[in-house]
Structures are given as structure tokens and as C-alpha cells.
């Protein structure tokens, strides 16, 4: 039986009957029945939405309705939403696009400064590399031991020529929710000085791809640019969005067409847009109830793990954590061995961000940035929860993790 082709409700039954528990929702969520229905319905609008014939105009209408639905949830204008292929492209378009726009105004990168943290996703931190070769200065701010990037740390990193700040709303590995609003508030009124020029303000970008259980209203957060990923919020894979506040100038990163206001060339995937919009709205409506439910799952699981596994360390222990991510380090284990052992016994989890899982990296750069014992960054397990996570499975999950740890210990 091909589980991929089953609807979400049937997939849930299939998984329970086969006693597998998925604990990697931070890497990917299944498409919800609501989003799948919207996607399937929109498949009939196959025409190019840029075309002027009736079929093209109908496709454009469906695309625009999807854009409007997302904008309404965010409390912004439809024109401020640009569809992308996912969160990685949204981050690239936001950051590289803004810096390219500055270069288009004949501003030299040697005169510019950017602030990020040491725990950003690679789709943020790696974007700046070609600009650094052209002289851009980048300061990476260290979080505290809880994974929090404090406003005062950002304040200390600012320079007169700071043009851009990028900080994830929720860290994808440890789940720490950053004080985006407080940081944005302290930036108010600051105007970067670039040579003889004064820019309007320091642009603030936040990667909100893991912000499923947080308020995502840009005005409330104080963000000028925000990135989203459908595949992290029960929508179809292969589409995301970038919010661009009116007045912020972005240059395209890709070339070859005038779609998406000239910022993202390529024929828009109408069905993906429709599915994403349905998922976005549904996730917003379920946010509070799911956050409360998953918060209880997280706390109960952590309590059982701490009671049964000696010297376990919680990574991301700040006052505000996303309810869907639990990251722990366990001494004297091989995290990859434990993850594979658990997979063979019905538990799917990861050791770090899925974007780095198969890379040649033996440790988590996020956990390493927290300080503490050197082994912690190598011995991490990330358990992330979602709509199919059953609180009644907490004891089984904790028991299987302990079994894996004890088994590894028996081999050493």
C-alpha cells in the first residue's frame, strides 16, 4: 500500500496500525485535507495566469484569491505578498534582493554592515557570502545559554552603517522564540549613514518558516520582510511567500520574466498557491488550540525523558519556546546511531536541521553556540510535533529513546 497517496485521515490510521510515530514536523508537515482539497480543485485552472485569454484570466483570479487570503491572515495588502518556491528562496529574495537593490542605487557593499545571529538557518547565513567578497561586513551575534538573542546584544552590534538585520522568529533546531518585537522597537528612528547618504531605516527581516504557533502579523512584530514556507504549515511542498512592506525596495534574484511584480520570474503554480493559502488560513485558525495541546505534549515528554535518562540536557530552555520543538543532548551516545535505531523501531526524528542532516557536519552549529559542555553539539536529538502527535504516545516515545540510549551504552 502506498501511504503517500492516502488522504491525511487514512494516513493517520495507517501509521497507528503500523505503530510508527512521526516526530520530525519541523522538517516537513503532511498536506492537510483542507489544503489538499484546495490544491486539487485548483488543478483545473491549468492555464498560464499571465495569458490574456479567458482560461488565463481564470487562473490569475485563483492565484490572486490565494494571495489575498494569505494577506488577510497577516493583516497586510495583497501587493505586499510575493510567492516563491519555499522558505529558502523567500530568505534569499529578501536578503540578497535588498542588498542588490542597494547596489542598484550605487551603494558600495564596502560601506554596508549587516547583523544576524550565530544560530540562523543556512538559507540566511549563507546568502551573504558573495556580498562579503564584495566588501560587506557581517556581525554574528551570540545567543545566551538559553538560545535567546537579546535586544541588548543586537543593540551592541549595531553600527552607523548597519543596513539590515535578519533573525528567525523561531529557531528551527531548538525552538527558541526570539524577541522580534522588542528588537524592532529599538530600531525605530534609526537611519543608517552610508557615506554621504542617509537611508530611511534599518530593514528588519525575520525568517518565520517555523512560526506556525506564533502571531505572524508583520505590523505587530515590526518586521519589514517576512519569509514563509508552505511545507512547514500543512500546505503543499514547493511554494512559499515573502512579505515585503510597502516602501521597501527589493531587486530580483532570478531573471527571465515579469511575474510577481517583476521579483520572481516563472509561471506561477496556481494550484500550489491555492493549497498554500488554504493551509495558511487553517493553521491560523488552529494556532492557539494546537499550541496549547502540543505544549502539554512537549512538557510531559521532557519530564519523562529527564526522569529516565541520566544527565540529559535541554537545548533551548528560555522563557518562550515553540511548543512543537524539543531538542535534547544526551552524554556518551552517537546521535545518528540512536536516530537510526529509533527509526527501525517506529520513531522518526532527526539530530539537527534536516537541511544539514546529510551534510558533512558532525555537530549542531546552533547547540554549539549555546556554550556548555563540548559533547552537547554532537549528541543532539530533535523531536518535533504536529497534528498527528498523540499525547498518549508520550510514555512509548520516552521508553523507546531510553531503550536506544541504553542499547548504545551496552556496545561501549
345-359 pLDDT per residue, tens: 999 999 975 555 445
C-alpha cell belonging to residue 129: 557570502
Domain 35-280, what architecture? 3-Layer(aba) Sandwich (3.40)
Q: How far is CA 401 from the centre of its chain?
A: 26
Name the average pLDDT for the chain: 92
Query: Angle at the Cα of 402 (from 291 to 331), degrees rounded to 5?
Result: 95
Measured torsion, CA atoms of residues 145, 364, 117, 294, in degrees rounded to the nearest 10? -70
Residue 361 above 90 pLDDT?
A: no
Sign for the pseudo-dihedral over CA of 234, 30, 177, 204 = negative
Mean predicted confidence (pLDDT) in 174-203: 92
Q: What is the pLDDT of residue 151?
A: 96
Supply the pLDDT for residue 198: 85
**pLDDT value for 15:** 47
In the predicted model, is pLDDT for residue 92 greater than 90?
A: yes
Whole-number Å distance between alpha carbons of 290 and 285 = 10
Q: Which residues are catalytic?
A: 355
Position 398 scores a pLDDT of 97
Whole-number percent of the chain with pLDDT over 90: 85
Q: How confident is the model at residue 10 (pLDDT cuts 50, 70, 90)?
A: very low
Domain borders along the chain are: 3-30+286-410, 35-280
Which of these, 21, 63, 88, lies nearest to 353 by C-alpha position? 88
**Mean pLDDT value of segment 266-277:** 97
The confidence band for 27, taking pLDDT boundaries of 50, 70 and 90, is: very high
pLDDT of residue 249: 96
Q: Is the CB of residue 270 less than 8 Å from the CB of residue 45?
A: yes
DSSP assignment, residue 238?
S
Say what the pLDDT of residue 123 is. Answer: 95
How does strand 137-141 pair with strand 203-207?
A: unpaired
Confidence category of residue 258, pLDDT binned at 50, 70, 90: confident
CATH class of 3-30+286-410: alpha beta
Read off the pLDDT of each residue in 102-121 and give the average, rounded to a whole number: 96
pLDDT band at 4; cut points 50, 70, 90: very low
2: confidence class by pLDDT, cuts 50, 70, 90: very low
Would you say 180 and 206 are in contact if contact means Cβ atoms under 8 Å apart?
A: yes
Q: Is the pLDDT of residue 47 over 50?
A: yes
Which letter does DSSP use for residue 177 in this model?
B
- With helix as H, strand as E and coil as C, how does 275-332 read? HHHHHHHHHHHHHHHHHHHHHHHHHHHHHHHHHHCCCCEECCCCCCECCCEEEEECCC
Nearest to 402 by CA among 278, 288, 311: 311
Cα distance between residue 356 and residue 362, in whole Å: 10
Band (143; pLDDT cuts 50, 70, 90): very high
Amino acid at each position: 500500500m502506498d501511504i503517500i497517496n492516502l488522504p491525511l485521515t487514512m494516513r493517520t490510521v495507517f501509521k497507528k496500525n503500523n505503530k510508527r510515530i512521526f516526530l520530525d514536523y519541523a522538517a516537513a508537515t503532511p498536506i492537510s485535507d483542507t489544503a489538499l482539497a484546495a490544491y486539487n480543485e485548483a488543478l483545473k485552472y491549468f492555464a498560464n495566469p499571465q495569458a490574456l485569454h479567458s482560461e488565463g484570466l481564470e487562473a490569475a483570479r485563483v492565484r490572486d484569491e490565494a494571495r489575498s487570503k494569505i494577506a488577510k491572515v497577516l493583516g497586510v495588502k495583497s501587493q505586499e505578498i510575493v510567492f516563491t518556491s519555499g522558505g529558502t528562496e523567500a530568505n534569499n529574495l529578501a536578503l540578497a534582493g535588498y542588498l542588490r537593490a542597494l547596489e542598484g542605487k550605487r551603494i558600495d557593499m564596502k560601506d554596508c554592515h549587516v547583523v544576524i545571529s550565530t544560530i540562523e538557518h543556512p538559507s540566511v547565513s549563507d546568502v551573504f557570502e558573495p556580498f562579503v567578497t564584495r566588501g560587506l561586513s557581517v556581525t554574528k551575534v551570540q545567543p545566551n545559554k538559553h538560545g535567546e538573542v537579546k535586544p541588548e546584544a543586537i543593540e551592541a552590534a549595531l553600527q552607523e552603517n548597519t543596513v539590515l538585520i535578519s533573525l528567525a522568529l523561531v529557531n528551527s533546531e531548538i525552538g527558541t522564540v526570539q524577541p522580534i518585537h522588542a528588537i524592532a522597537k529599538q530600531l525605530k528612528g534609526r537611519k543608517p549613514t552610508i557615506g554621504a547618504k542617509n537611508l530611511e531605516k534599518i530593514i528588519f527581516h525575520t525568517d518565520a518558516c517555523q512560526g506556525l504557533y506564533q502571531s505572524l502579523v508583520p505590523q505587530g512584530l515590526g518586521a519589514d520582510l517576512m519569509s514563509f514556507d508552505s511545507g512547514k504549515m500543512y500546505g503543499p511542498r514547493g511554494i512559499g511567500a515573502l512579505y515585503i512592506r510597502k516602501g521597501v525596495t527589493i531587486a530580483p534574484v532570478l531573471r527571465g520574466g515579469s511575474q510577481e511584480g517583476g521579483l520572481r520570474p516563472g509561471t506561477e503554480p496556481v494550484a500550489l498557491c491555492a493549497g498554500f493559502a488554504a493551509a495558511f488560513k487553517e493553521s491560523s485558525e488552529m494556532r492557539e488550540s494546537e499550541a496549547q495541546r502540543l505544549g502539554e505534549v512537549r512538557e510531559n515528554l521532557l519530564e519523562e525523558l529527564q526522569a529516565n535518562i541520566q544527565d540529559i540536557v535541554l537545548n533551548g530552555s528560555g522563557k518562550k519556546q515553540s511548543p512543537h520543538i524539543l531538542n535534547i543532548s544526551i552524554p556518551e551516545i552517537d546521535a545518528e546511531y540512536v536516530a537510526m535505531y529509533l527509526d527501525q523501531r517506529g520513531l522518526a526524528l532527526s539530530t539537527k536541521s534536516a537541511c544539514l542532516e546529510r551534510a558533512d557536519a558532525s555537530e549542531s552549529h546552533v547547540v554549539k553556540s549555546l556554550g556548555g559542555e563540548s559533547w552537547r553539539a554532537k549528541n543532539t536529538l530533535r523531536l518535533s510535533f504536529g497534528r498527528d502527535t498523540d499525547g498518549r504516545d508520550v510514555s512509548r516515545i520516552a521508553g523507546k529513546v531510553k531503550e536506544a540510549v541504553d542499547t548504545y551504552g551496552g556496545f561501549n
